[in-house]
Each structure stands twice: as structure tokens, then as C-alpha cells.
Amino acid sequence: MSRRALTLLIAGFLVLALGVIGAMQRVPYVVLSPGPTENTIGEVDKKPVISIKDHQTYPTSGALSLVTVAYQGGPSARIDLLTALRGWIDPTVAVVPEETIFAPDRSAQQVEEENTVEMTNSQETATAAALNELKIPFRMIVTVGATQKDRPAEGKLQVGDVIDSVDGKPATNADVVSDTVRAHKPGEAVVFGVTRGSEKHEVSVPTVAGPEGQALVGVEMRSAYKFPFKVDINVGDVGGPSAGLMFSLGILDKLTPGELTGGKKIAGTGTIDEKGQVGPIGGIAQKMVGAKDSGATIFLTPAANCAEAMRAVPEGLRLVRADSLHSAVEALDALRTGQGNVPACEAG
């Protein structure tokens, strides 16, 4: 065998060996890639993404699409080295350390469950933001999320109870309930006025001393909203809070005459609070790729993500800065009519 042939044989063997090692070697990284998009004024599995009952709705057109990020990897399903290397080469995906997605004390299942809870909360908050924008009144309610084992509330308060009052004071939010309970001396009773199903009850619950000596009853509360009509949101397996802005816009579009999009395909992202303020999200680069692939030409971008977005925006996708739900609506009005200001992202 010639020296040249031997060199090629050895090189080929080394490449094969490295390939086998790369395929077997698991690494603590996660690959983030563009996930599916869903039109909030469209349908999923032949069902409307947003359904509104007992209130006038109006026709819509175009798209107001939420965008998502898919991930591959995690503590229980680590990717191999070759997958990570391919990700580092591909400009449309990101390879990040595992701990940026999965906290050391959280399993993949726990992360999924937390994302589901965040999505549910996001939907309620998005509805509240839309109704606030339209000046449609609603109220906040406090419900029993859980009772702690071997604490006084166990067996007296039930999951799902709506706490209407505490010691005769309206329970306008969870802080009012907590502060009223803590104002007692341990051993004193607290009287809760609750709605259970369709019935109202007064429930007396004794207090005990907590770790720092404060009075407590052992109830975990959840704040929720009581809306004057039903808003259902159906997005399948999508999780997390980052679709809040697009949910609010979809609800607004259905509740108001005229078409918010002007027939255009618009995508966007951003968390939202009940006052309509838009917050930052993660995975902006992958979400923009998903938006472009879905046919969107305009991308509503949280102000805090603008600098990052400008460094990775796909060609043909126009970034519109969204500081709040109100400013996003104004921007869409300006895009549709050709009049008014359309706030743009600026390099940071």
C-alpha cells in the first residue's frame, strides 16, 4: 500500500471514529429553532383560536399571528454533539446551555407544566388588557388555589372557592386577604366569606403561628378575573407567556368593527399585563424566522427586544416597536390607513 493510500485510510478512519463519538456523546445544550405560528383570528383544528360568547363580534381578515420557539434537548433527552455542531452552523437556530432553559431543580415535565400555567395566565391577562383598552369593566377575584396539609384551612376552604370577603372586608385582591390574616394574633379566627359553586358561605378558620411568628391559615390563593362575557382561547400545545400581545390584539379585532390588519399578515410577540404594557421575551431571532416563513411582512416587537431583533431580522420583515397594546393598535391603524406614526425599532 502506498503512503498516500495509507494516509487517506487513516484519515477516513479518524473521521468515522469522530462521527461515531459525536453521535454517542451527549452534551448539556439545547437547540432552539423556529416553532409553529398560529393566527389568533384564525382557526386551529377547525376551531377558532379565540371564541367570544354573549357579546357582539365582527368579521376579521388577514392574520395576527403568535410565534413560538421549538426546543430540542433537555436533562432527560440530551442532544448529541453532532446535533449541537449543526446548530452552531445554522444561522436560524440557537444552541444554548441547558441551564438557561431548565433550572437545576426543574425537570422537563415541571418546565412544561409551568409553561402551561403561564399560558393560561397570559390568556386571562390578555383578555383583561383588551377589555381595559376598550373600557369594558370587569373585576378581579381571589380564589383558593390549594390548602396546605395539616394547616387550619385544610378541610374548611376548598380549591376553587371564590373569596369574597375576609373579616367582613371585600377581598379585592390577594394582598388584602394576606394582610388581614397576618393582622391577627396566632390562635385567633379569621372569617372568610366565600362563594362555593352557586352558594355563599361564611367559614371561620383559626390561625396558627408561621415560621416568623405571623398568623397564617395555610391557604394558597390565585388572583383571577371575572369578565362580563366569555372569552375562550384555544392554541393546542403552545405554552409560555409570550403570546399575550397577540391574544389581546386578536380579542380587540373581534370585538371592534373594521379590520385591524387591513388584510395584511402580521405576526408579533410580547408578554402583556392587564394595563396593556408589553414586556420582553426570549428567542426573538427564531420567532422572526417563523414569522417570515408563515408569510408575515410585519413583526410587532417588544421595545426591550428591538436592538437584538435588528441584528437578526430576516430580509423583507418590517419591525414595528410595540411599547403597549394601545401603541400597537395605533401602529396598525397607521399601517392600514397610511396616516399616523408607525414606531420602528432602533439599534441599541
pLDDT given for residue 93 in this prediction: 80
Set 242, 248, 324, 327: catalytic member: 242
Domain range 139-226, its CATH number among 2.60.40.10, 2.40.30.60, 2.30.42.10, 3.40.50.300: 2.30.42.10
Q: Do domains 33-78+115-136+228-337 and 139-226 have the same CATH topology?
A: no
Set 156, 254, 264, 287: catalytic member: 287
CA within 13 Å, CB half, 111? 16
Min mean pLDDT across 107-111, 122-126, 145-149 is at: 107-111
Cβ 319 vs Cβ 270: under 8 Å: no
Spatial distance between the Cα atoms of 289 and 291, rounded to a whole number of angstroms: 5
* Sequence spans of domains, the chain: 33-78+115-136+228-337, 139-226
pLDDT given for residue 22 in this prediction: 47
pLDDT tens digit string along 71-111? Answer: 777 766 777 777 777 777 878 887 777 777 676 665 566 66
Helix (H, G, I), strand (E, B) or coil at 117: helix
DSSP state of 157: B
Quick check: is 287 catalytic?
yes
Spatial neighbors of 8 by CB under 8 A, at least 6 apart, are none
Topology of domain 33-78+115-136+228-337 in CATH is Ribosomal Protein S5; domain 2 (3.30.230)
pLDDT tens digit string along 249-262? Answer: 999 999 999 899 99
pLDDT tens digit string along 175-207? Answer: 999 999 999 999 999 999 999 988 999 999 999
pLDDT given for residue 79 in this prediction: 73
Quick check: is 242 catalytic?
yes
